[in-house]
Amino acid sequence: MAGRLHELHRGVYLVGHTIPPKYAPEMAALLACAPNAILSHRTAAALWALLPYPTPPPVCVTIPPKRTLSRPRIEIHRTPLERRDTRHRQGLALTSPPRTILDLAAALELDDLEALVAEAHYRHLATEPELHDQLARNPGRPGNKRLRSILDLPNGPQRTRSPAERDLLAMLRRHRITGFETNARIHGYEVDFLFRERGLLVEVDGYDAHSGRAAFERDRLKFATLTAAGLRVMQVTGRQVRRDERGVLDRLLRALG
């Protein structure tokens, strides 16, 4: 066995690998913090695919509040958890998606938190009633007010699929523009931003996604079909949103007005 045991934590060893396989760091953290340890915060969000996996160390673990424990390379949180706030995924004990979102609410920027909530809702991992239940059961929890502010946004949290879409959404939020949907379906197409009552759609174009001939032809057909259906199409680029926000905002307000 010489050379085959690699210590990950005190009393926890990796057998026969020089590089830990997938989920080994998370399992090792649970073993090092046993009993009654559960993965949480960034680590749980990554296991639910709400954040990229793997997250940078340390692994986040929650233990009961009365336990005294410290482990290098493990971020330990202490709080009571109800059984309904725990799940198992890939054989690992972790917090439920609604509880994970509440735990992260105090640490994320508001636009990152909105993206997390919207993605969880889109993937049927955490509904708004489940998140409101978390708020009701944890009134003094850090991040409670921030999460409530996201749930109370006009039109609710909106999902985006690219940095350019996210930048435009942040611009709309800053200027309190409402009445839109993101990644909405209309006349057989999915559009980036749709002001349905105004008959206006806004497409956020990035060079990489729209530079080929096939993408060019596909977009021309899409816009021609939607225009023929009576919709107005406004195109902006992510570069314009970042570098000429006032110009984009003025054009949008004229189109809406």
pLDDT tens for 209-243 read 555 677 778 888 999 999 999 999 999 999 999 99
Kindly state whether residue 157 falls inside one of the protein's structural domains: no
pLDDT at 134 over 90: yes
> 39-49, pLDDT tens digit by residue?
999 999 999 99
pLDDT mean across residues, the chain: 91
pLDDT at position 1: 45
The answer on 111 and 83 residing in a single domain is no
Kindly state whether residue 156 falls inside one of the protein's structural domains: no
Percent of residues, the chain, with pLDDT higher than 90? 82
Select the more confidently predicted residue: 199 or 10. Answer: 199
The answer on 183 and 132 residing in a single domain is no
Select the more confidently predicted residue: 90 or 209. Answer: 90
Q: What is the SS3 assignment for 191? A: strand
CATH number at residue 195: 3.40.960.10
The answer on 78 and 33 residing in a single domain is yes
pLDDT at 208 over 60: no
pLDDT at 105 over 60: yes
Question: How far separated are the first and last CA of the chain, in Å rounded?
Answer: 75
pLDDT at position 14: 75
CA distances from 27 to 13, 36, 38, 81, 94 (A): 11, 13, 10, 19, 11
Domain boundary among 72, 95, 118: 95
Kindly state whether residue 158 falls inside one of the protein's structural domains: no
The answer on 207 and 245 residing in a single domain is yes
Q: Supply the DSSP string of 138-158, one letter for each residue.
A: -TTSTTHHHHHHHHTSTT---
The answer on 109 and 87 residing in a single domain is no
Eight-state DSSP code of residue 160 = -
The answer on 173 and 135 residing in a single domain is no
**Euclidean distance between CA atoms 128 and 120, whole angstroms:** 10
Q: Which residues pair with 5 in a beta bridge?
A: 15
| Domain assignment of residue 119, given as a range | 103-151
The answer on 167 and 252 residing in a single domain is yes
Select the more confidently predicted residue: 185 or 207. Answer: 185
pLDDT at position 218: 85
Kindly report whether the peptide bond that precedes residue 35 is cis, defined as omega within 30 degrees of 0.
yes
Residue with tokens 């939020």: 173
- For 230, how many CA atoms within 13 A lie in the half-sphere containing its CB? 6
CA distances from 211 to 120, 205, 215 (A): 31, 10, 7
The answer on 118 and 75 residing in a single domain is no
pLDDT band at 205 (very low <50, low <70, confident <90, very high): confident
Q: Which two tokens stand for residue 246?
A: 């006032």
The answer on 202 and 245 residing in a single domain is yes
Nearest-CA neighbor of 11 among 26, 24, 23, 29?
29
The number of folded domains in the chain is 3
The answer on 211 and 141 residing in a single domain is no
